[in-house]
Amino acid sequence: MTIETWDAVKGEIEKSVGANNFAAWIKPLEFQSCDDRTLALNSPTDFIGRWVVQHFADVILRHAGEAGVDATRLICSAQMPGTKPRILTGDTDLSPAQKARAKPRPVDGLDPRFTFETFVVGKSNELAHAAAKRVATGAAVTFNPLFLHGGVGLGKTHLMQAIAWELRQRRPDCSVLFLSAEQFMYRFVQALRDHNTMSFKAMFRSVDVLLVDDMQFIAGKDSTQEEFFHTYNALVDNGKQVVLSADRSPAEISDVSERITSRLQSSLVIDLHPADYELRLGIMQHRYAQYRDMQPDFVLAEGVLEFLAARVSQSIRVLEGAITRLFHYWELIRRPIHTEQVGEVLTDLLRASGRKLTIDEIMKKTCEHYNLRMSDMTSARRTRSVARPRQMAMYLAKKLTPRSYPEIGRKFGGKDHTTVLYAVRKIEELMRTDSQLAEDAQLLQRKLEG
Ligand code: ADP
Ligand code: MG
Mean pLDDT lowest among 48-52, 139-143, 365-369: 139-143
Cα(110) to centroid(ligand 1), Å = 14
Cα 110 from Cα 178, distance rounded (Å): 8
Indicate if 350 and 374 belong to the same structural domain: no
Using a cut of 0.75, tell me whether the model's pTM lies above it: no
Three-state DSSP at 127 gives: helix
Let me know whether 229 and 332 are in one domain.
Answer: no
Q: Report pLDDT for 108.
A: 46
Residue 123's domain comprises 116-272
Q: What is the DSSP string of 71-98?
A: -SEEEEEPPPTT-------S-----HHH
> Beta-carbon neighbour count of residue 4 at 10 Å?
9
Are the beta carbons of 111 and 75 closer than 8 angstroms? yes
pLDDT at 92 exceeding the cut of 80: no
**Confidence at residue 70, expressed as pLDDT on a 0 to 100 scale:** 86
In a shared domain, residues 80 and 162? no
Q: Is 316 in the pocket of ligand 1 (CB under 6 A)?
A: yes
Q: What pLDDT sits at residue 103?
A: 33
Atom of ligand 1 nearest to the CA of 120: 24
The pLDDT value given to residue 345? 82
Q: Which residues contact 434 (CB under 8 A, 6 or more apart)?
A: none
User: Residue 176: is its pLDDT beyond 80?
Assistant: yes
Whether 129 and 225 map to the same domain: the answer is: yes
Average pLDDT value for residue range 321-347: 87
Answer whether 106's CB lies under 8 Å from 87's CB: yes
CB of 154 sitting under 6 A from ligand 1: yes
Cβ atoms of 409 and 420 within 8 Å: the answer is yes
Report the range of poorest mean pLDDT among 165-169, 183-187, 343-347, 432-436: 343-347
**Domain identity same for 282 and 315:** yes
Average pLDDT value for residue range 295-324: 87
Mean pLDDT of 159-187: 92
Contacts of 160 (CB under 8 A, 6+ apart): 132, 148, 178, 211, 213, 243, 245
How many Å apart are CA 148 and CA 129, to the nearest integer? Answer: 10
- Whole-number average pLDDT of the chain: 85
Task: List the residue whose alpha carbon is closest to atom 6 of ligand 1.
Answer: 155
What pLDDT is attached to residue 83?
Answer: 34
- CA–centroid distance, 152 to ligand 2, in Å, is 7
Q: Say yes or no to pLDDT of 351 above 80.
A: no
Apex CA 290: angle with CA 286 and CA 295, to 5°?
140
pLDDT at 16: 84
- Look up the CATH number of the domain holding residue 255: 3.40.50.300
Task: Pick left, alpha or beta for residue 371 (phi over 0 → left; psi -120 to 50 → alpha; otherwise beta).
Answer: left
- In the predicted model, what is the mean pLDDT of residues 293-314? 88
From 61, 94, 127, give the residue that closes a domain.
Answer: 94
pLDDT confidence bin for 97, thresholds 50/70/90: very low
By most ligand atoms within 8 Å of CB, the mutation choice from 116, 129, 154 for ligand 1 is 154
Does the Cβ of 156 fall within 6 Å of ligand 1?
Answer: yes
For the chain, what percent of residues have pLDDT higher than 70? 91
DSSP string, 177-202: EEEEHHHHHHHHHHHHHTT-HHHHHH
Cα-to-centroid distance, 188 and ligand 2 (Å)? 21
Q: Which ligand is nearest to the CA of 214?
A: 2
Whether residue 345 is contained in a domain is answered as: yes
Nearest CA to ligand 1 atom 5: 155
- Closest atom, ligand 1, to C-alpha of 151: 3
Find out whether 8 and 63 touch, Cβ atoms under 8 Å.
no
User: Do 133 and 221 fall within a single domain?
Assistant: yes
For residue 380, pLDDT over 70 is answered with yes
Which of 272, 305, 340 represents a domain boundary (last residue)? Answer: 272
| Cβ of 314 less than 6 Å from ligand 1 | no
- Ion ligand 2 neighbours (CB, 5 A) are 156-157
Is residue 381 pLDDT above 60, yes or no?
yes
Q: Are residues 304 and 382 in the same domain?
A: no
- Please work out whether the CB of residue 155 comes within 6 Å of at least one atom of ligand 1: yes
What confidence category does residue 440 fall into, taking pLDDT thresholds of 50, 70 and 90?
A: very high
Q: For residue 96, say if its preceding peptide bond is cis, omega within 30 degrees of 0.
A: no
Ligand 1 atom 9: residue of nearest CA: 155
Using CA atoms, how far apart are residues 355 and 348, in angstroms rounded to an integer? 10
How far apart are the CA of 316 and the centre of ligand 1, in A? 6
Q: Which CATH number goes with the domain that contains 383?
A: 1.10.1750.10
Ligand sitting nearest the alpha carbon of 152: 1
In a domain, 371, yes or no: yes
Domain boundary among 354, 371, 391: 354
User: Which residue's C-alpha comes closest to atom 25 of ligand 1?
Assistant: 119
Pocket test for ligand 1, best of 114, 316, 319 (most atoms within 8 A of CB): 316
Distance in Å, CA 176 to ligand 1 centroid: 21
* Nearest residue to 352 via CA among 304, 424, 401, 391: 401
Q: Is 405 left (phi over 0), alpha (psi -120 to 50) or beta?
A: alpha
Any idea which ligand is nearest the CA of 289? 1
Q: Which atom of ligand 1 is nearest to the CA of 159?
A: 6
In a shared domain, residues 46 and 83: yes
**pLDDT recorded at residue 216:** 92
CA of 113 to the centre of ligand 1 (A): 10
Q: Which ligand is nearest to the CA of 315?
A: 1
